[in-house]
Structure 1
Amino acid sequence: MDWSGIFAFSIPPLETLVRGTVMYWLLFLLFRFVVRRDVGSMGIADILLIVIVADAAQNGMAGDGKSVSDAALLVSTLVAWNMALDRVAFHFPWMRRFVDPEKIMLIRNGRKLRGNMRRQSITDEELEAKYRQQGIECIEDVKALYLEADGNVSVIKRK
């Protein structure tokens, strides 16, 4: 068995760090600003997109890397960027606004906010399903409904 082939770097470690960093930020920006934030669920198309993006990004990140060390360094780079973003966002509100999308009000005092729905590509049917899941029968009983940063929905009932 060729132990050096398994554990020795097959490409320069700095190249792996740069590739991992570039792909992390490209994917972060793509998913943060381009990919639609869903209404609390993942569909088949969303899962397919993630699988395809992962496969497409793999070559850009790994290059000619073939060893365990190359893969370990690449994974460590991606995890480090993720942890760094979380930590910076925790300590600095301006960064939190960049990392996490703001909540968006979709219903106010029983009325749909069509502009916000349109910007988030949320249909009437999706919105109605969300307040029904909270046990609310009609929109007039909703004081406020928000699409949260994580894609879930928060509902405040009228008294």
Structure 2
Amino acid sequence: MSELTDLFAREFPVWHMIVRGSVVYWFLFLVFRFVLRRDVGSMGVADLLFVVLVADAASNAMQGEYRSINDGLVLLSTLIGWNFALDWLSFRSPAIARFLEPLPEVLVRHGRVNRKALKREMITMEELEAKLREEGVERIEEVRAARLESDGRLSVLKKRRR
């Protein structure tokens, strides 16, 4: 019975796990949002961050590094809480949504490449051309607008044929 009790006993105070989870979440969120570039066609930043943190926290809880299931559950609950809170806040507030997710970046407008935007996002012409081909565009001149969306996908509007 003592072993079962030890399995659920908390090694750290609840507030300690909440602070640790929150600090790691916000640090990684800010790094992903402002330092790392968006990859064309990649997963959303918040999605990737959430999956990585939850996997790590769950792994530690299951492997016994916390020595307590409750410590792992507190940390997982903290991460889930932040993820839910940010989704809820961004749904309720356009200002918060703009902070949490970058605005779409126009890469091509009326058949002309925005080289400053490509440089800012560190996207090569080869990458752009490959993504345009995936969208059925053979030549850049066919594009009315191509935007790098906040989740890393490229949305393309073709010019109308006359």
TM-score by length of 1: 0.85
Question: 2:68 is matched with which residue?
Answer: 67
Shift of 1:36: 1.1
Distance 2:10 2:109 in 1: 57
Distance 2:6 2:37 in 1: 42
Post-superposition, which runs of at least 4 consecutive aligned residues in structure 1 deviate over 3 A? none
Question: 2:94 is matched with which residue?
Answer: 93
Question: 1:45 is matched with which residue?
Answer: none
Identity rate, percent: 48
The within-5 A match list for 1:116-127 is: 116-127=117-128
Question: 1:114 is matched with which residue?
Answer: 115
The within-5 A match list for 1:26-37 is: 26-37=27-38
**1:105-154 CA distance string (max 9 Å, x none):** 00011111000000000000000011111111101000100000000000
**1:43-99 CA distance string (max 9 Å, x none):** xxxxxxx8xx86xx86xx99x732100000000100100000000000001000011
Distance 2:92 2:108 in 1: 31
Aligned residues: 145
- Extract unaligned runs of 5+ from structure 1: 43-49
> In the alignment, is the contact (CA less than 8 A) between 2:42 and 2:151 conserved in 1?
no
Report the residue type matching 1:131 in the other structure: L
Distance 1:86 1:92 in 2: 10
Report the residue type matching 1:20 in the other structure: G
Distance 2:67 2:159 in 1: 59
Distance 2:137 2:82 in 1: 41
> In the alignment, is the contact (CA less than 8 A) between 2:91 and 2:97 conserved in 1?
yes
Question: 2:7 is matched with which residue?
Answer: 6
Q: CA RMSD in A?
A: 2.0
SS in 1 for 2:145: strand
Question: 1:104 is matched with which residue?
Answer: 105
Shift of 1:41: 3.5
TM-score by length of 2: 0.83
